[in-house]
Structure 1
């Protein structure tokens, strides 16, 4: 059974300018970052599919990303993998005083409030002077996730609708505004602004429904892909191609594909 030390040694050899891998050697934080994000999504996909053998492999790929970044940081004299481990261990102990200390919380809500207070203290200690309730929402995350985090933080100080009904009202309002912009022949900039409002409210709707936006969209994508591929199969069985058919004929295949799933 190999250990994390073996993986660290493998990465060090790959990055070694004397006999290492040319591709690995030329990589930087910036070039590797997209792969890190991609691997995180691959982990989520394996979880969605309950493919645990694949999940094991994808977690390994994600761990490799951490090791890759840590190796580049060590080469630059910034920190090493051991420092990454120390940092996260310290943070987990510090942020769970009810587990590793004597703190007691009456509810999960009180624990969450304490978690946010601890994070604010950490930001202040690092020199971050942003004291907004929205502080700490990374600009590097996917925008749908950032929308969720911003709404969640605003809700913690009471800026939130009391239930889902007004969210539906707001969604209808924003859709009507998009429709009006289309009717008026608005340009891309205006449409982007209004469609952005619709998407923001959709995230809010998902938040009130306690639905993970990314997971919901992954399921919708998978459903569309599954049905579209069935449409292509139906067309092939009929001796034609989907692209050769008009929209009415294509839609008939779509209805048929949906009917198979019921």
Structure 2
């Protein structure tokens, strides 16, 4: 069965509509930032004060997608796009760059990183391994142009720590700093856990923090070797814990109880009951 793609006329209309709405959004932001007639809060913002919102909005996009809440996803993507427009407007006021420069750079980068689509390397279009190698080579060349040297260069400090740990380990693995197989990573997790247990006995909180960090780093490395996203794994675990704990609260409420009124043994028994119900 052949794939169905939108007609050229439909695509042209969609692009034109998107261009119109994007221009409208840029104009709205310009009005909000007007020192005399704009919004006092928006006018007061700086790149530093707005930056955290971009991270928050990105997570809300990921959450909506994970829940397959597609109407919410469109809304959250709009919130994320607003952050790009907001930062671009502030930069334009300071004569640093504008939104056109932002879009020009990402468009040029996509063309540059996809020579198998836009250039002369179309012979590797269907070779996923070759495409990955080409992508990484292009990124490395870009890092060198920015005078970023070393295997770990360019990994943002602002990434969530668990995700950054996975990226650091992955980048190091590309130059051979890795275990031969996954059993080595599993052994490292056990080793780090034993060191955590030793520091618990010592009572040295600073050393304990260091060892717990090593344990989390090794767990992130294990997820990477298993071709899993550690952030996605933890989000799933968070969701599972939330679902089960709320079920515990509901079961206790049927008996006129709250978790605070129960001892550990009672809570554990209800928890195991919830787990059993999920599996049945």
- Residues 87-134 of structure 1: per-residue CA shift (max 9 Å, x gap): 1011111111121111244943333333233223223333x1x42122
Give 2:128's aligned residue: 108
1:83 counterpart (93, 101, 105): 101
Instruction: Give the distance between the partners of 1:15 and 1:260, measured in 2 at CA.
Output: 54
1: distance between equivalents of 2:224 and 2:128?
18
Question: 1:15 maps to what in 2?
Answer: 33
- The residue that corresponds to 2:151 in the other structure is 133
Distance 1:99 1:136 in 2: 26
Count residues with an aligned counterpart.
259
1:190 to 207, 215, 228: 207
| 2:219 equivalent in structure 1 | 202
The DSSP-based 3-state class of the residue aligned with 2:78 is helix
Out of 262, 266, 272, the residue aligned to residue 249 of structure 1 is 266
C-alpha separation in 1, matches of 2:75 and 2:34: 25
Structure 1 gap segments, 5+ residues each? none
Deviation at 1:80, TM superposition (A): 0.7
Structure 1 Cα separation of the partners of residues 101 and 162 of structure 2: 31
Q: Distance in 1 between matches of 2:145 and 2:215?
A: 38
| Residue aligning to 1:164 | 182
Length-normalised TM-score, structure 1: 0.93
1:120 equivalenced with 2:137 (yes/no): no
Aligned CA RMSD, in angstroms, stands at 1.6
Of 163, 187, 203, which aligns to 1:145?
Answer: 163
The residue aligned with 1:231 is 248
Report if aligned partners of 2:143, 2:149 keep a CA contact under 8 Å in 1.
no
The gaps in structure 2 that reach 5 residues or longer are 1-16
